Structure formats: C-alpha cells, structure tokens
Amino acid sequence: MMNVEIKYYLIMAGSTSHMLRGDKLLKDKGISTSLVPAPSEYGTVCATAIKVNREDKEKSEKLLRDNNIIIEGIYPDKPRKLLGLVEKLMDSVVSPEFMTVLKKIEEGEELALEDIVMLLKTERKAEKEALFHTADRMRKEVVGDVVDIRGAIEFSNYCRKDCLYCGIRKSLDNLSRYRMSENEIMEIVYYLYDIGLKTVILQSGEDLWWTPEKISSIIQRIKKETKMNITLSIGERPREEYELYRELGANNFLLKIETTNRKLFEFIHPDDDFDHRVKCSTWLRELGYLNGSGNIIGLPGQTIEDIARDIMFFKDMGINMIGIGPFVPAKGTPLESYPQGSIDMTLKAVAVTRIVCKRVFIPATTALASLDPDGQTKALKAGANTIMLINTPPKYRYSYQIYSDKNMVDLKSAFKAVEEAKRKMPPYLKVGREEM
C-alpha cells in the first residue's frame, strides 16, 4: 500500500532505552531521524517515537532488528491536517506570506525556522487571531479540552546559583531563606491528594542541603502514601541522582533551557554552562522522565529569531512539557530595571509551540498570570493545556518570588481561567467551583 501523502514513518520501540539506542544507531548509520511525541493512536501519553523518512523505513527496520532493538510497531506519520484554516481567513487582511504558512499548517507540513520567525513577528490583528485560532484547534485535536491541573510546592528558596534574572539568586542578602520540613511538605501533598490532583511538583532553588537521601525520602513517602505523580524541578544534579529519583518513582522533571542563545544563556547564568544544561536535559530523557523545558520571553538582548530557535530546540529534543513565560524583572536583581517581557510575544510563542510541537503539555504559566490577571485565560485560548497551582504555604510564599509581584495561582483563579476559556476541569478533581 503506497500512499503518496506519507512522507515519514514513526517507529515505536519497546522501551525508552530501546528507543534511544535505536535512534543513535540509525543516526550513526547516516539515517536522518528525529524523536517526536507519539500520536495518541500509537502510544501512551508522551511516549516518544523515532521518525524516519519514507525511503529509509525498510533499511531502518532491518538495522534495528539486526541489532536487537525491540520494535513495537511502525506506523505512517499521517500529517495532522487542520482543514478550513485558509478558507476561514479569505475575507481578512493577511499577507501572502502568512497565507502560505497557514496553508502549510493546514496540510500538516513541517514548518521551517523562517516560517516560525514570520509567525512570531506578525503584528496584524487578523493574523494574530488566525494564529491563536490555529493553535487552539491543534490543541483540541492533540490533547482535547481538559485542562490538566497540577499542584506546585516551592519547598526551599536557598540557591547556590546567581542567575541574573532570578528573585531567589544566591547574592540576594536581604531575602529571608526557608526550607520546608518533610512533614510540612507532606501536609500540602495530602491536601493536593484530597482534592483529587494527580501530580505534585516539587520546586526549589539549587539547594544541596537537600541531599539525595533527603530527596529520596520525600519521593518515597509521596509514592507510598499517595501514589501521586511527582514532578521534580530542582535544577542541575549529577546523572546518578536523576537516575536514583527516577528509580524511586519520580515521573517528570522540569529543567528549562531558558534561552538557546548560547551567549545570552552564559550572560544570564554566570554559574552555568549551556552544553551541560542541554546534557542534563538529555540525561532526563534517557532515564525515561517526561521531560520538561521552556524559555523566558523578553530577556534583555533576546531576538525573535532566538525564540524561534528555542521552539525548534523543544521539537528536536522531543520535549514533553514546555513552560513559556514572560521575563518579569525581579527586585534586587541585576536585571531589575530591564523592561518586562511582552505578553503578546509570549502568547504568540505559546501558539507557535503548540503548532510545531503538537502533542505536548504547555502550562499557562505563573509568570504570565503575574503580569496580566487574564494571562492564563489568554494562554489557554492560544494553545496551553495545563495550570500549575501554587501551594506553597503563605508564610513562605513571599520569599519565593522568583519574579516580584507574583500573582497567586490558586484553585479559584484556575476555575475562572478554565471557565473563561470555555474548557473543562479534569474529571479527577474532587472539589467543585461552589466549594471555593
């Protein structure tokens, strides 16, 4: 059966390690591959597939089999068409370039870097509306209407690093530092569990007081007592530690690249090395985490091309969760007097990321909420499908202002955003709006 429409095939391997070994093997043999989130028909949520060109399908299959890579299935990568986009626009004032790219999206073609740049640069009202509408349709197709709600606990604001933008950076002497105890953390975990949430996010500065033993202990307790999914967001750690936490049951890891512009990355992260940060992200994927990344929009000196390359990076790295937030100047930091990131550009970046990366989790970020009370609603309408509640106890919250004036993202505001965006709260949630 030869179908001219099929340009690529998706190979589903037997496990994450088979997938990664297989991908490397094919690349070493000169076959061009990429790792992509598998469509729902072919794999569990966020499973990763190896994508190969049609011409390379047979050769790849043979190579993999000869090298004992388990193949669960090979499926045609049907273009994800969004019919009717162009027709809908016929009466609007849009540029021919915009129309061409929209046509590509409609036909399920891959976008090139220039296409992404063009979409991000668009300023015309009709074009922006079409962009958000397109992202919204893609979101509906690939992840549906339910907004996933997760609970975050910022359990320590100690940090060994001095990232220029961050409101808990090491050299902020006036900041009162805290560490929650294991029992304090568990109390919040029980609350999240009681209201029915499935995922708890443990976030902190890079605080080595939290040794592998202490982190292991908290992971084990959460798993034993609630079975909730655990997302870690604790920064850079050795591979062995990531491996240990994964073995103990941590499911997801958020480690944002922040920017893929190497010079800018190094300027804003005096303690970090760009290649090492990418390496950490690669390890996380190798270890089988759902892999979170993301960027900050509107960093001083960042260009639209940089943002376009960030989006390509998310796609090429097979990232599963992508946090895109505007730069929020934080008091007392070296970047405090730089202008805040544009909400409009952040929303465009969310929309393009949804169109390019397709079946991924994109949160309506806290940073967006903190700059615009309607920010989360707008993000949900532009491709986002996740909300992270901030559940840090009030007495600590003030000290975890990674960006100043952080708006509270609580259940009440989540209900509001989900309702305004005409979306659905997750069925697992055990509290209703009336109980707020």
Q: Give the residue ranges of the annotated binding site.
A: 159, 163, 166, 233, 258, 277
Report, in Å, the least distance between residue 174 CB and ligand SAH. Answer: 17
Question: Per the annotation, where are the binding residues for (3R)-3-methyl-D-ornithine?
Answer: 233, 277
Lookup result for tokens 């000869």: 66
Report, in Å, the least distance between residue 203 CB and ligand SAH. Answer: 5
CB 30 within 8 A of CB 19: no
**Part of the chain binding ligand SAH (CB under 6 A), chosen from 1-9, 14-22, 325-333, 384-392:** 325-333
Between 346 and 365, how does the x/- string for binding to ligand SAH read (CB under 6 A)? --------------------
Among the residues of 179-324, which ranges form H helices? 182-194, 212-226, 239-248, 262-268, 274-286, 304-316
- Find the binding residues for ligand SAH in span 218-237 (CB under 6 A): 233, 235
- Find the binding residues for ligand SAH in span 255-274 (CB under 6 A): 255-256, 258
The reply to whether 251 sits near ligand SAH by the rule CB under 6 A is no
When computed from its CA atoms, the radius of gyration of the chain, rounded to whole angstroms, is 22
Of 328, 345, 347, 382, the residue at the interface with ligand SAH (CB under 6 A) is 328
The reply to whether 330 sits near ligand SAH by the rule CB under 6 A is yes
What are the backbone angles phi and psi of residue 262, rounded to the nearest 5°? -55, -45
Of 20, 69, 102, 166, the residue at the interface with ligand SAH (CB under 6 A) is 166
- Find the binding residues for ligand SAH in span 276-305 (CB under 6 A): 296
Question: Per the annotation, where are the binding residues for S-adenosyl-L-methionine?
Answer: 258
Question: Per the annotation, where are the binding residues for [4Fe-4S] cluster?
Answer: 159, 163, 166
CA angle 148, 153, 159 (to 5 degrees): 130
Of 37, 325, 363, 375, the residue at the interface with ligand SAH (CB under 6 A) is 325
Residue 157: CB atoms within 10 Å: 24
The reply to whether 369 sits near ligand SAH by the rule CB under 6 A is no
Report, in Å, the least distance between residue 383 CB and ligand SAH. Answer: 18
What are the backbone angles phi and psi of residue 273, rounded to the nearest 5°? -115, 130
CB 39 within 8 A of CB 359: yes
- Find the binding residues for ligand SAH in span 178-207 (CB under 6 A): 203, 205-206
The string over 240-258, giving b where at least 16 C-beta atoms fall within 10 Å of a residue's C-beta and e elsewhere, is ebbebbbebebbbbbbbbb
Query: Please, which residue, 325 or 375, has the CB nearer to ligand SAH?
Result: 325
Residues in the chain: 436
- In sequence order, what are the residues at sequence separation of 6 or more whose Cβ sits closer than 8 angstroms to the Cβ of residue 149? 197, 386, 387, 389, 411, 414, 425, 426, 429
Assign residue 332 a region: left if phi > 0, alpha if psi is -120 to 50, beta otherwise? left
* Residue number of the CB atom closest to ligand SAH: 235
Query: Please, which residue, 25 or 330, has the CB nearer to ligand SAH?
Result: 330
Report, in Å, the least distance between residue 9 CB and ligand SAH. Answer: 35
How are beta strands 33-37 and 48-53 bridged, if at all? antiparallel
Query: Please, which residue, 105 or 287, has the CB nearer to ligand SAH?
Result: 287
Q: Which of 164, 173, 120, 170 minimizes the C-alpha distance to 338?
A: 164
Q: Tell me the number of residues near ligand SAH by CB under 6 A.
A: 18
- Residues forming contacts to ligand SAH in the complex (CB under 6 A) are 165-166, 203, 205-206, 233, 235, 255-256, 258, 296, 325, 327-328, 330, 367, 402-403
